[in-house]
Structure formats: C-alpha cells, structure tokens
C-alpha cells in the first residue's frame, strides 16, 4: 500500500504539538477530528475546515497516491456539541465518503516555538532576541523581539502587507518608529495591555473590537490589525512543510481568505 499509516502521523503530531498538554477552548478539539481507513498519501494545509476547503481537497485527491491528511488551524467543532445534520453532516460526510482524515491544531500550533504562527511571523519580520510576552491559561503566548533597526510604523505595515498578502490597519498609538514588536496571531486584540506591560511599542495581531482603538491610543502602543485569517496562514503552511520532510510525502496549501 502507498502512503504512511495515519496513526503514525497522528502520534507524531500529538507529541510535536503537545496537544494533550496545551490548554484551549473546548470547541477547538485539537488532534485527529476525522480518521480514515488508515493511510495518508500527503498533506493539505488550510486555515479553516470550511466546506470550501473540504470541496477543494476532494477535487485535489487525484494528485496523491493515497488520500491526504488535511491539517487545519480551526477545526470542525467550534459551534459545540451539535447534531450530525445540516452543514456538519455535509462537511464530515464528504470527508468520510472520500476517505479523507482531518487534524486540527489551534493554540498548540500558535504557541509552538518553531512552527507556530507567532514564531514564524516573528522570523519573517527578522525580530531578534525573541521571547514570549503573554500567557494563555498558564502557557507562554506571543513572540516579541527587536527589529534589526527602528522602522517607520507605516513602513512596517507595508512590509507586513507584502509578507502575508493582507491590508493591515494601523492604530498609531505609539512612537513613530517601531522598535520592540510583539505578535499574537488571530483574534487577540484584547491583549494590548499585556503588550504595553511587556514594554512593546508595537503590537501585531489579527483583529480586535471597537474599543481597542482607544486602548492603543491611551496606552501608547502602535497596534497593527493584519487580519485574523492572514496572520494564521503561516503556522499550517510551516507544519505541512515539516510533515512533508518528515514523512517524505507531498504537501499543498489551500488558500480560502475570509477578508477578516
């Protein structure tokens, strides 16, 4: 048979990402969410386990010798313990009927020191002296560091836009030149006070509520909202590439931007 055993990949992922140790929201349900008949022939990364993602995965299976394992950041069960009907039936039924397994990793991927969204974005920006600056349920969260040289905040925004294909929103609450920068990907607009307490002058995240404008201005921190989806592409891409090298199987990234 072609491919590798699904159980071998899952055991590796569970250990690599510490999915049984890292806390998360109950709807994240990290780990293997849908299994298949036992083997995978490659990896398809995506941010969300949406119907569009699943449909495109099904259309791509002929490029793999065995069905691929889909690796996502946001899994199938964010709406809680719901009946296996409607759109949940359509999503999971489509995966099962095509023998496609799905693995989800939310906070465990965010906080990974090498493959996580925050770490990869920090490396792309060239931050030096990296360390965490916040916590989530007792686990270190976020990556902060110094830019190689102070950078105009508008120039940093332009660089982020080019780097992850987004249109970032700057709230100019801090100094004109960014120097000490922190990142928490996704919907972490509520962490501006933590960024300030850590001594950051610029904080990058995906999105935030209306009041975060005043948080940024009054706390004196530049805040860059670079998009929830856009800031969470890096982790699943890097993870799938890592799995490809580890197991000698092909990988793809399926891009389904939300604009949010």
Q: Do domains 4-110 and 117-231 have the same CATH topology?
A: yes
Q: What angle do CA 2, 18, 78 make, to 5 degrees?
A: 85
At residue 9, does pLDDT exceed 80?
yes
Domain ranges of the chain: 4-110, 117-231
At residue 29, does pLDDT exceed 70?
yes
Q: Rounded CA gap, 29 and 74, in Å?
A: 9
**The domain 4-110 is classified under which CATH number: 3.90.1150.10, 3.40.1390.30, 1.10.10.10, 3.40.718.10?**
3.40.1390.30
Phi, psi of 241 (to 5 degrees): -65, -40
167 DSSP 8-state letter: -
Partners of 182 in beta bridges: 144, 203
Percent over 90 (pLDDT), the chain: 97
Region of 246 please: left (phi>0), alpha (psi -120 to 50) or beta: alpha
Q: pLDDT digits over 46-99, tens only?
A: 999 999 999 999 999 999 999 999 999 999 999 888 999 999 999 999 999 999
pTM comes to 0.95
Q: pLDDT digits over 184-233, tens only?
A: 999 999 999 999 999 999 999 999 999 999 999 999 999 999 999 999 99
Query: C-alpha distances in angstroms, 3 versus 188, 244, 258?
Result: 38, 12, 32
Task: Assign 2 a pLDDT band (cuts: 50, 70, 90).
Answer: confident
Q: Which CATH superfamily is domain 117-231 in?
A: NIF3 (NGG1p interacting factor 3)-like (3.40.1390.30)
């Amino acid at each position: 048979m072609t491919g590798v055993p699904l159980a071998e990949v899952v055991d590796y992922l569970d250990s690599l990402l510490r999915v049984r140790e890292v806390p998360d929201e109950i709807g994240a349900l990290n780990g293997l969410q849908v299994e298949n008949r036992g083997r995978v022939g490659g990896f398809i990364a995506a941010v969300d386990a949406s119907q569009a993602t699943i449909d495109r995965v099904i259309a791509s299976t002929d490029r793999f010798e065995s069905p691929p394992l889909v690796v996502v950041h946001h899994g199938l069960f964010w709406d809680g313990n719901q009946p296996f009907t409607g759109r949940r039936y359509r999503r999971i039924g489509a995966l099962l009927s095509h023998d496609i397994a799905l693995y989800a990793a939310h906070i465990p991927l965010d906080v990974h020191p090498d493959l996580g969204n925050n770490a990869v974005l920090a490396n792309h920006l060239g931050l030096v002296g990296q360390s965490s600056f916040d916590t989530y349920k007792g686990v270190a969260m976020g990556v902060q560091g110094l830019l190689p040289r102070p950078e105009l905040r508008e120039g940093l925004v332009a660089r982020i836009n080019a780097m992850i294909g987004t249109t970032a929103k700057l709230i100019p609450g801090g100094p004109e030149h960014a120097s000490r920068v922190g990142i928490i990907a996704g919907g972490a607009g509520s962490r501006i006070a933590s960024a300030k307490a850590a001594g950051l002058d610029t904080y990058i995240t995906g999105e935030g509520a209306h009041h975060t404008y005043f948080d940024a201005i009054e706390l004196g921190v530049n805040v860059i909202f670079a998009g929830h989806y856009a800031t969470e592409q890096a982790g699943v891409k890097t993870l799938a590439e890592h799995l490809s090298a580890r197991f000698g199987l092909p990988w793809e990234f399926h891009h389904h931007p939300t604009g949010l």
